[in-house]
Amino acid sequence: MRVVFIGPPGAGKGTQSQRLLRYLNVPHISTGDILRDAIRRGTAEGFAAERYMNAGNLVPDPIIIDLVGQRLDQPDCAAGCLLDGFPRTTGQAEALDAYLNGRGIPLDGVLELRVNEEILIQRLASRARVDDDPNVIRQRFVNYRERTEPLLDYYRERGLLATINGMGSPDEVFDRIRAALQEFARTTASRKASRTSG
Ligand code: AMP
């Protein structure tokens, strides 16, 4: 199964993606992790990305699209993957569509994890990442609202979006995610059936 996971900083995406990975048994493609790893290894992409990340800004699309394309080309992604934190802009979503359409592989669905903003700020205040400084957090929210939220409409129009209520215990949230995945599987199956019969 191929699933995109979208949510604002602090929504609990990290916790839920660990569960999702175990449940789906697919590779985890987290652009944040890929970028942090590139910085640690001192690669050219890492060098180019670091100043954007430290300021809470999005890394430019061409860098991200290239990194994700390389990762999706790896054989372990053939049966599916969890895309976590990608796409984050309409440009990235279009690039992903082009990649998948070019290879005839479907995206099964997009999970949006939604949590009220005050809770998000409280949760972030208790983490200790370089980009969790209050000003940087604010910037990351602005980017989410301005650049990532428009994607939700993009996927809603394509019938791929499931909005998950992210409030409650991790188990409660994961139950909602599991229900959405079952719905994705049904939708993919019926899309496939209508393609073969039409
Ligand atoms: P994350 O770990 O997903 O919260 O990402 C941490 C930071 O990496 C973000 O604040 C961005 O600076 C950068 N980043 C991660 N994924 C993307 C993406 N898809 N597009 C642009 N920047 C990204």
The pLDDT value given to residue 198 = 62
The pLDDT value given to residue 137 = 83
Radius of gyration of the chain (CA): 17
Q: Are 61 and 89 in contact (CB under 8 A)?
A: yes
Atom of ligand 1 at shortest range from CA of 92? 19
Distance 29 CA to ligand 1 centre (A): 12
CA distance 198 to 196: 6
CA distance 29 to 12: 17
pTM to 2 decimal places? 0.93
- Give Cα 4 to chain centroid, integer Å: 5
Please state the rounded mean pLDDT for residues 14-26. Answer: 96
Strand 2-6, strand 81-84: pairing: parallel
The response to whether residue 52 sits with its C-beta less than 6 Å from ligand 1 reads yes
The pLDDT value given to residue 122 = 79
pLDDT in tens, 57-82: 999 999 999 999 999 999 999 999 99
pLDDT in tens, 101-156: 999 999 999 999 999 888 887 777 777 676 777 788 888 889 999 999 999 999 99
The response to whether residue 85 sits with its C-beta less than 6 Å from ligand 1 reads yes
Mean pLDDT of the chain: 93
The response to whether residue 13 sits with its C-beta less than 6 Å from ligand 1 reads no
Is the pLDDT at 28 greater than 90, yes or no?
A: yes
The pLDDT value given to residue 170 = 96
Please report how many Cα atoms fall inside a 13 Å half-sphere around the Cα of residue 36, on the Cβ side: 9
Q: Are 113 and 3 in contact (CB under 8 A)?
A: no
pLDDT in tens, 154-187: 999 999 999 999 999 999 999 999 999 999 999 9
Is the pLDDT at 15 greater than 90, yes or no?
A: yes
The pLDDT value given to residue 144 = 94
Per cent of the chain over pLDDT 70 is: 98
Residue in 34, 53, 66 to alter for ligand 1 test, most ligand atoms within 8 A of Cβ = 53
